Amino acid sequence: MSTPHNEANKGDIASTVLMPGDPLRAKYLAEHFLEDVKTFNTVRNMLGYTGYYHGKRVSIMGSGMGMPSIGIYAYELFNMYDVEKIIRIGSCGAIQENVHVRDIVIAQGACTDSHFAHQFELPGTFSAISNYELLEAAVTLAKEKGVPYHVGNVVASDLFYHDDQDSDKKWAKMGCLALEMESYALFALASRYGKKALTLLTVSDSMITHEETTAKEREETFTAMMEIALEIA
């Protein structure tokens, strides 16, 4: 059963999907970490793969940038392909002094400036949070690996280039750790359809120090985050 965005058939996609924003990161992960890999999607170059990691069947698929994009793919994976868990593996911009480039941020919840949840016609504001089981497993593995990590709120924004130059400082005052663009939609959809979701992020740049990584580094070198996601998949 294909969709306008995914040419996979039922059964082509594993029950757990890792979702980087960049489809080339999905390709890199599949080629370097999975065995017996099969491509299930190339529509719009949003590459998707299924293979085995230490005997465990896992799929990896790009989500694109922003909540409208991940909203399409996550909805279809949850509702049309029987996916039970989606783990976002992305990059983020740190907005706290103690969160450094290449640190891992494990998103406990996601704040947003988006109206994504308005579709649910709720009589208030929805707090989008991750699945605790996946969160706990990721924290445990991060400790075992000895990698620097932080757990807390991230900001999923609709805007990459914000007209308000101080918007990040306002979120930082509320204790948010980093900026990204997808997690609120992912967590909201997982809650709506009774599924599980988690976001793991590697800090690609800092709004405090202005240190940043290259596109190639973001594609190929954020391996600690990738390994944690594969282990808990």
> Which alpha helices (H) appear in 159-222, and where do they start and end?
167-173, 183-192, 215-220
> What is the per-residue pLDDT across 136-169, written as a single tens digit (0 to 9) for each?
999 999 999 999 999 999 999 999 999 998 999 9
pLDDT tier at 114, thresholds 50, 70, 90 = very high
Could you give the percent of the chain with pLDDT greater than 70?
99
pLDDT tier at 216, thresholds 50, 70, 90 = confident
> What is the per-residue pLDDT across 12-68, written as a single tens digit (0 to 9) for each?
999 999 999 999 999 999 999 999 999 999 999 999 999 999 999 999 999 999 999
The two tokens of residue 34 are: 């999975």
The confidence score (pLDDT) of residue 217 equals 78
Instruction: Give me the phi and psi of 58, to 5 degrees please.
Output: -140, 145
Could you give the percent of the chain with pLDDT greater than 90?
94
Q: Which domains does the chain have, with CATH numbers?
A: 16-232 (3.40.50.1580)
User: What region, left, alpha or beta, does residue 121 occupy, with left being phi > 0 and alpha being psi -120 to 50 degrees?
Assistant: left
CA 137, 140, 144, 148 torsion: positive or negative? Answer: positive
Residue 76 and residue 61 in contact, taking contact as beta carbons nearer than 8 Å? no
pLDDT tier at 222, thresholds 50, 70, 90 = confident
Q: For residue 183, which of 165, 168, 206, 201 has the smallest C-alpha distance?
A: 201
Strand partners for 104 = 149, 202
Q: Which residues are catalytic?
A: 205
The confidence score (pLDDT) of residue 215 equals 80
pLDDT tier at 129, thresholds 50, 70, 90 = very high
Looking at this protein, which amino acid is placed at residue 188?
Answer: A
pLDDT, average across residues 190-219: 92
Average pLDDT along the chain? 96
